[in-house]
């Protein structure tokens, strides 16, 4: 069996349309230790993109109140909620 091909940049990882396709890819590839080290030491917000989201002002007020009760910034709380939902949407979760 050949040694797995190291993935040195995140951009090298293709989009997978099916979990089997992803499993086949990872049987032949592995993350480069240097990429892993940089990823673990980097803060999550460093590579972020600004977006515009239009919402009802009452909904925004409710979000801000909930966030304040949790001592959070409302935008951080929204990112956390979206992240949690994305995890639930992944196949096999």
pLDDT tens, 40-85?
655 555 677 889 999 999 999 999 999 998 888 899 899 889 988 8
| Tokens, residue 93 | 């979760």
Residue 39 pLDDT > 70, yes or no? no
Mean local confidence (pLDDT), 20-39? 85
Angle (nearest 5°) at CA 62 between 73 and 54: 80
* Residue-level pLDDT at 57: 95
* Residue-level pLDDT at 71: 85
* Residue-level pLDDT at 55: 95
The residues, any chain, with a CB within 8 Å of residue 91's CB and separated by 6 or more, are 19
């Amino acid at each position: 069996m050949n040694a797995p091909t190291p993935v040195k940049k995140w951009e090298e990882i293709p989009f997978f349309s099916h979990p089997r396709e992803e499993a086949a890819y990872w049987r032949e590839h592995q993350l480069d230790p240097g990429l892993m080290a940089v990823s673990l030491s980097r803060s999550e917000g460093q590579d972020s993109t600004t977006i515009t989201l239009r919402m009802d002002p009452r909904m925004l007020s409710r979000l801000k109140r909930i966030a304040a009760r949790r001592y959070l910034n409302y935008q951080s709380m929204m990112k956390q909620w979206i992240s949690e939902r994305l995890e639930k949407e992944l196949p096999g979760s």
